[in-house]
Amino acid sequence: MRKWMEFFQENNGRLSSARLMAFLATLSFVVWWQVAVWRSGDFNPGWTITAFTLAALGLKTAQKFAEAKSAKREERDDA
């Protein structure tokens, strides 16, 4: 259980709601995919689940880059 909690923590040790959202979006997409394959043998995802998953993952990626840029700026200001 501790490893799972570490997965949802940011570099500063705080829990990340963005990571939780990205995980839940990915999990829901995979479950939706599996149910569709089991029921019909075909998977044609709708735009809503696809957009939701890509948005959650994209926002987390953008957040990570913004935090890294902010940390670099703070290091430069401290020097």
pLDDT tens digits for 7-65? 777 777 787 777 888 888 888 888 888 888 888 887 777 788 788 888 877 887 787 78
Mean pLDDT score of the chain = 79
> So what's the pLDDT on residue 24?
86
Give just the sign of the alpha carbon dihedral 48, 53, 58, 60. Answer: positive
Host domain of residue 29: 17-78
Give residue 1's pLDDT. 64
Banded model confidence at residue 79, pLDDT cuts 50, 70, 90: low
Kindly state whether residue 1 falls inside one of the protein's structural domains.
Answer: no
What lies within 8 Å, CB to CB, of 33 at 6+ separation is 43, 45
| 2 within some domain | no
CA separation for the pair 44, 26 (Å, rounded): 16
pLDDT at residue 2 greater than cutoff 80:
no
Q: What's the number of domains the chain is made of? A: 1
Q: Side-chain half-sphere of 30: how many Cα atoms within 13 Å?
A: 6
pLDDT at 62: 81
| pTM for this predicted structure | 0.63
Residue 10 lies in a domain: no
Q: What are phi and psi of 11, to 5 degrees?
A: -60, -30
